[in-house]
Structure 1
Amino acid sequence: MKADPKVQRRLLDLQAIDTTLAQLAHRRRSLPETAELDAQARELSALEDERVRAQVAVDDLDRDIARIEKDVDQVRARKSKDEARLASGSGPARELEATQHELVSLNRRQSDLEDAELELMEQRETAQGALDDVQRRLVEVRERRAATERRRDETLAEIAKEEEFKRSARQPLAGDLPAELVDLYERIRADTGMGAALLTAGRCGGCRLELSGVDLARIRRTDPDDVVRCEDCRRIMVRTNESGL
């Protein structure tokens, strides 16, 4: 295949654009924010599980406290009834004496219930503190996740803008080059990621290998408009005054 040396050099401009586009695509796939968001999602999941357990603990204690409060109210109501009976002084002496004994038992029962309630309330305060703490940490992680998402979106917008700019420059450049040359370039680029490279000081810019004396001699014998390729990586080698020929 033949192409004007100036046309061949323009392949390097095309390759520079394609290299930038490949780098932008890689940058999009490997954004650090993506890994951060994955880690934050796992952290949020673990915290949400912890929050559920903490909430269940508080709810269980609330039910226990409510049950004891109901028992205390029943004891107080019974005490009020007995105290009213004793205050009236009516009824047989044996019944009044039994009522006094019942009041003693009720007072002891009320004291026991109130002690148990106080202990449960202390446990609830601790449980509520644990719930408040996990909820605070949830808020912090959600805020960090939102900030990470903003950074990711800003970076993706920058990448998309640069890609659009590069593609708009690529289209007319590729359109001005010979179709046969572009087809060859595209086939090589599809296989290797790079279709054309500069030959500098006897070294291929694609595979970075130094050409043998035989290969250099062969290239020297070719016409300037011949499209030459590296024997190792098969990429198009663009020759300039710096090629060492």
Structure 2
Amino acid sequence: MKAAPEAQRRLLDLQAVDTALAQLAHRRKNLPELAEIAAVVREISALEDERVRAQVAVDDLDRDIARFEKDIDQVRQRKAKDQQRLDAGGSLREVEGLQHELATLNRRQSELEDSELELMEQRESAAAALADVQARISAAGERRAAAEQRRDESYTEITKEQEFKSASRGPLAADLPSDLVTLYDKIRTETGMGAALVYAGRCGACRIELYGADLNRVKSAPADEVVRCEECRRIMVRTAESGL
């Protein structure tokens, strides 16, 4: 393929734009905030599991405490009825029976209240654990929101740069021979880079030093000949800096 030396040199400008666009795309894909957000999402997921377990513990204790409250209330009602019957009087046997039952109910109430108190202390600890995990979820959510805001700000900045670079690429490519751009784009699509400067006798893409027959091939090629590296197949642009 033939192309004016100046057109070949301008391929380097096109490559510089494409390299910048590739770097911006890589930056967009690998923003540190993305890894941070992913880590926080995993953390929140684990914390949500912990919160569910903590909530279940509190709910179970609430259910047990409610059951004790019901049992205690029933004992109190039974005591009140027995006390009314005792106050109303009766035979000695009835009075003794009521007194014995009241003593039994008092012991039962005391046992139930002690058990309830123990459960209430457990609930206090369980509620504190639940509040702690909820606070950690809230803090993680704030970190996630902050990271997402920074991510979005970076996206906006990157998009502006991409739009600017893309806008400059169009006229630059349009001003070059179409067959040269087609070849360049084909190579760039396949390898990530379409053209590179030959500098100090080395291919600027793969950094391989030219020597022997390959060096002679490049040196002897007409200035308007589009030469390609034997190693990486990229277009090699020759200038005064090429050392040929």
Q: Any unmatched runs of 5+ in structure 2?
A: none
Partner of 1:24: 24
How far residue 87 of structure 1 moved from its aligned partner, in angstroms, is 2.0
How far residue 167 of structure 1 moved from its aligned partner, in angstroms, is 0.5
Partner of 1:50: 50
TM-score by length of 1: 0.96
C-alpha distance after superposition, 1:19-53 (max 9, x if no partner): 11111111122222222222212111111111111
Q: How many residues align?
A: 244
**Cα distance in 1 between the residues matched to 2:218 and 2:57:** 81
Q: Could you list the structure 1 runs, at least 4 aligned residues long, displaced by more than 4 angstroms after superposition.
A: none
**Cα distance in 2 between the residues matched to 1:75 and 1:241:** 105
Matches within 5 A, 1:36-115: 36-89=36-89, 91-115=90-114
Partner of 2:243: 244
**Cα distance in 2 between the residues matched to 1:84 and 1:66:** 27
Partner of 1:185: 184
**Cα distance in 2 between the residues matched to 1:204 and 1:94:** 116
TM-score by length of 2: 0.96
Q: Which moved more, 1:59-68 or 1:206-215?
A: 206-215
How far residue 92 of structure 1 moved from its aligned partner, in angstroms, is 2.0
Q: Which moved more, 1:199-208 or 1:73-82?
A: 73-82
**Cα distance in 2 between the residues matched to 1:231 and 1:113:** 91
C-alpha distance after superposition, 1:157-200 (max 9, x if no partner): 11111111110000000001000111111111122111111011
**Cα distance in 2 between the residues matched to 1:102 and 1:222:** 118
**Cα distance in 2 between the residues matched to 1:58 and 1:219:** 80
User: Matched residue of 1:199: which SS?
Assistant: strand
AA paired with 1:42?
R
What is the alpha-carbon root mean square deviation over aligned residues?
Answer: 1.2
Percent identity between matched residues is 69
How far residue 239 of structure 1 moved from its aligned partner, in angstroms, is 1.1
